[in-house]
Structure 1
């Protein structure tokens, strides 16, 4: 491997790992609310251990209960630890997932710059926003392959603590249900979510950074990074939330509930209407800004130290 390849990998892998830890620590409680809104549950009851179906061991969300109300409800019913239900899965995934995301993005950027140098005599050293979006989309595939199975476990742990209490027991239970096919259930939908979502994420980050540095050149770099990181997260979820809803339904439903991805969409639209595709958008956006601001600040800080 050349020195340039090693540098490119390091400038994505190590900062991405640090940024991922920051993201999970700040954002997991709100992610819990997002998943429960998408599935239609507020708290996971620990009383019913003999529920005939996965859905019956969960308390339904009351109409009008917002994100903050759900946070209070979960903290009251399950304790502060309940706000981090299912955190083992993203904690295990976060280092490889975010490291792969950012290293893949840096590699895709480097490839586009090399390709540009081949066809242009005086190529620019900065990618266009379109090229940043393409590089971001490329990073979505390896991310989804890593995080898809772990999101399957995370979602189950977030909605039903009585049946899925620990990561290892949940993984064993899912594997017994249908082997690796069951573990990887929903990974295809994760790819369909993360490719456009990551494209919006990185294009949003670059766009906000450039806009702020042109319009407000006196802003400190730290503030620019925080604002751009927050807006990147917002852009990601505005694009990704419909597919994320379908993914959450598919990954948490009994295997006999839906025939395929299209059946999930048809059932969702028939029962709840198009607005259901945006369930969980409120908490997703509420989480996105601080979690991704923290993530990108961690990424840029480590990149600076490495450079």
Structure 2
């Protein structure tokens, strides 16, 4: 009688899932540049309301059209590009690195960790992007001033070189305190809240990881960010637009504004700020998500140059 060998099941080796290659660090900067270019007229109006005597958004837009035409709505756009490719590129990169550092990369990470990562990214980006921020604000606010008080910069690089030559290298740090503070608030409220809202929406049966989810999460994030950042945004614009000794004092700017306009000056320009930041936030995240999909598609075809 022959004996039949009993075949024991062989242990299976778990499949090794290759670690996903990170997205290019510059992706956020490109997405932000595209979005800011589209919404530039609203950003221009917001800065002019904050830094000048203009009282209403529509009045400010009409004034720009009357004095400079449609082209005037894109005054200072080179400053916007410089700002986005320095500040925004840095903040998106720093946010992802900060999430890795504090262990907030997994789905459903707690809100406080996302907020902390956003704050860390904002502090870094606000400092590094300060020169670009000054250039953008000055280029945008120039035509709202009387002719004799204008800077008359040709473009962003002319502004940068002339600031160093005429005001010294220290002028590049003008308003860095309020700018860093605003950047911390912005990234904690915009980047972190987008991730938070997106994760919460995906827990419901009504949303999938698609454009509808990205739109809804970015809409909520834009409203939160506008409200939280308005006071620091107003102070930043006024200080950066100032010139002359002693004009960069944060407390001095606050005292003067409260005496002449009352404490609600800190929310001056909230409506145009919301109208600018809301579509900008939506466009940034929709564009960023699509750029990520494009990178994934390109890599799936065997192209690893991105």
TM-score of the superposed pair, with normalisation by structure 2: 0.80
Aligned length: 272
1:15 to 27, 34, 39: 27
Q: Which has the larger radius of gyration?
A: 2
Structure 1 stretches lacking a partner, 5+ long: 41-59, 117-123
Q: CA deviation at 1:278?
A: 0.8
Q: Which stretch of the first structure deviates more once superposed, 141-150 or 67-76?
A: 67-76
Structure 1 position 89 matched with structure 2 position 104: no
SS of 1:217's partner is coil
In the alignment, the residues of structure 2 paired with residue 172 and residue 147 of structure 1 have an alpha-carbon distance, to the nearest angstrom, of 16
> Cα deviation per residue 1:201-232 (whole Å; 9 max; x = unaligned)?
12321232234334452467102112212322
> What is the SS of the residue equivalent to 1:160?
helix
Q: Which residue of 1 aligns with 2:129?
A: 147
| Residue correspondence of structure 1 range 1-307 to structure 2 within 5 A | 7-8=21-22, 10=23, 13-40=25-52, 60-61=53-54, 63=55, 65=56, 67-113=57-103, 125-161=107-143, 162-167=150-155, 168-215=157-204, 217-218=206-207, 221-256=210-245, 258=247, 260-307=249-296
* CA distances 1:61-120 after superposition (whole Å, capped 9, x unpaired): 2x4x3x234223312321122111111112123233322211111111112228x9xxxx
Over the residues paired in the alignment, what is the CA RMSD in angstroms?
2.4
Quote the Cα distance in structure 2 between the aligned partners of 1:7 and 1:140: 24
Distance 1:269 1:216, change over 3 A: farther
Structure 2 unmatched ranges of 5 or more: 1-17, 144-149, 297-306
Shift of 1:141: 1.8
Flag the structure with higher helix content.
1
Aligned counterparts of 2:46 and 2:189: Cα–Cα separation in 1: 20
Partner of 1:120: none
Closer, same or farther: CA 287–259 of 1 in aligned 2, 3 Å: closer
Matches of 1:179 and 1:170, distance apart in 2:
12
